[in-house]
Structure 1
Amino acid sequence: MSNPIALLLAGLAAGTGLGALVTATVIDRPAMSKAAMSDGIAHDHSAHDHGEGQAMHDHQMIEAGDPAPTLAIEIHPDGAQSRNLHIVTTNFTFDPEGVNGDNRPGHGHAHVYINGVKQPRAYSPWVQLDALPMGTHEIRVTLNANDHGHLATNGTPIEAVTTVTIE
């Protein structure tokens, strides 16, 4: 019989290496290549659910109520390819604690899209857009209720769109 301690150590080393490889491949890989993002190719979220019924909520309109929030966006330089996105609102409170909960008028979060590709949610008015590839990019921001439905005024989504060019 072989030395059981040597077999245990060999198994642990092999398992650790394989685990690190799988983690690096699955977690560290971006959902979309920068080349695809710069070409404006969008990832379609309607084909699958991200655990929250996201595809369903992305198309739901929720009347914002009175006074309705307003939204504007500003882009500020932050390095050669990075930019800071300032989400300027009135009558709106970023509510990270309320996400996935009951809707409260004037509360929620923002959804940020770069070239149609949804980015992580914004729970505050400032978001860093890190290492954008060279070219022109459309930045779109929507205000969303706690259940992720689009806040709207008279059926029109509350959103703002701008472009940024990275040279």
Structure 2
Amino acid sequence: MKRCGLCLVAACLVAACSSTSNDFAGDPQSEELIQKVDHEDEMDHEGHAHGHSTLREFVGASRPKLNVEVTADPVSGVNVHVTSDLQVEPSAASSEHVDGQGHYHLLVNGVKVLRFYNEWIHYSELAPGDHTVGVELASNDHSIYIWDGKKVSVETFISLKEPKEHHHHSDDFVEFVGASPTLDIEVIEDKKSGWNVYVELVGMLIDPVMGDGNHVDGAGHLHLYLNGEKTARLYGTATHIDSFPNGKVEVMVALYNNLHKPYAVNGETLSATALVVNTG
């Protein structure tokens, strides 16, 4: 049965480094190259896996740029920073192909683990040890971009040690200095699989490196919660969630500083909530 989603938008504020770039040569082929790759494994709304993706030639005057920097996060996993020529359009994901538009796929040890839309992403599901972390460019329709017959992708090696920091979230908060930020969220069912969360934030700077791990007034990141349970740390204003549990789901985004303490105004933490009804 096709999933049906009802989105109620709560547009209110409730109170070791490794870097790699691609190196492709050659001119664009005149015909689109159709091949299959095996790591695409998203589920459609009827529960069918898509085990393959089409390869699509990137159209442009020169080879597309893709630079990827992966650093160990002091608390968990890695932070990935991407710069590329891709025009990322989160609202166009799972729609028709447009030359030069799309999103990113995160690859861990050669396997696609998620879709993302932002220049920065945090990925926590990496145990200590040796890993390859990569990024590839994908079109709106989830086909993988290629240039001169090669995928536009970059993989880099990182060796993770046990985190130096162990933190537990508490009720301690940091009073926001200055005018209170405004925060709205919208949750929309993706046309292919999962859900997209869009954040509208004014008045706080999202910057994962500002302050070099120290508190900076007005800077920080977002935490994403599903039914009260934290599921992700966000460094941007759009994210894709693979799946929701059936029934009513409360989606909350909250503002945190770079020390992972919640921001508050007059003692009230800053967050926005949307309710989704997911039936399967």
TM-score, normalised by the number of residues in structure 1: 0.64
Residue in 2 that maps onto 1:12: none
C-alpha change, 1:159 and 1:49, in structure 2 (3 Å) is closer
* Long gaps (5+) in structure 1: 1-43
Q: Distance in 2 between the 1:140 and 1:133 partners? A: 16
Residue in 2 that maps onto 1:89: 84
Residue in 1 that maps onto 2:133: 139
Shift of residue 144 of structure 1? 0.4
- Find the partner of 1:126 among 113, 116, 120: 120
Across the aligned residues of Structure 1 and Structure 2, the Cα RMSD in angstroms comes to 2.2
**SS of 1:119 mapped into structure 2:** strand
C-alpha change, 1:54 and 1:125, in structure 2 (3 Å) is farther
**SS of 1:72 mapped into structure 2:** strand
Residue in 2 that maps onto 1:156: 150
Q: Distance in 2 between the 1:72 and 1:79 partners? A: 22
2:58 and 2:145 in contact (8 A); partners too: yes
TM-score, normalised by the number of residues in structure 2: 0.39
1:109 and 1:145 in contact (8 A); partners too: yes
Give the letter for the 1:109 counterpart.
Answer: H
Shift of residue 72 of structure 1? 1.3
Q: Distance in 2 between the 1:151 and 1:121 partners? A: 14
* Counterpart check, 1:54 vs 2:50: yes
Post-superposition CA distance 1:32-85 (Å, at most 9, x none) = xxxxxxxxxxxx767x7611763232xx11111013421110013321442210
2:77 and 2:127 in contact (8 A); partners too: no
Shift of residue 141 of structure 1? 1.1
Shift of residue 159 of structure 1? 0.3
1:69 and 1:106 in contact (8 A); partners too: no
Larger radius of gyration: 1
Residue in 2 that maps onto 1:76: 71
Sequence identity (%): 26
2:70 and 2:133 in contact (8 A); partners too: no
C-alpha change, 1:166 and 1:95, in structure 2 (3 Å) is same
Q: Distance in 1 between the 2:42 and 2:136 partners? A: 19
**SS of 1:165 mapped into structure 2:** strand
Greater per-residue strand proportion: 2
Structure 1 residue runs of 4+, over 3 Å off?
A: none
**SS of 1:66 mapped into structure 2:** coil
Greater per-residue helix proportion: 1
C-alpha change, 1:64 and 1:111, in structure 2 (3 Å) is same
Q: Distance in 2 between the 1:165 and 1:151 partners? A: 28
2:42 and 2:50 in contact (8 A); partners too: yes
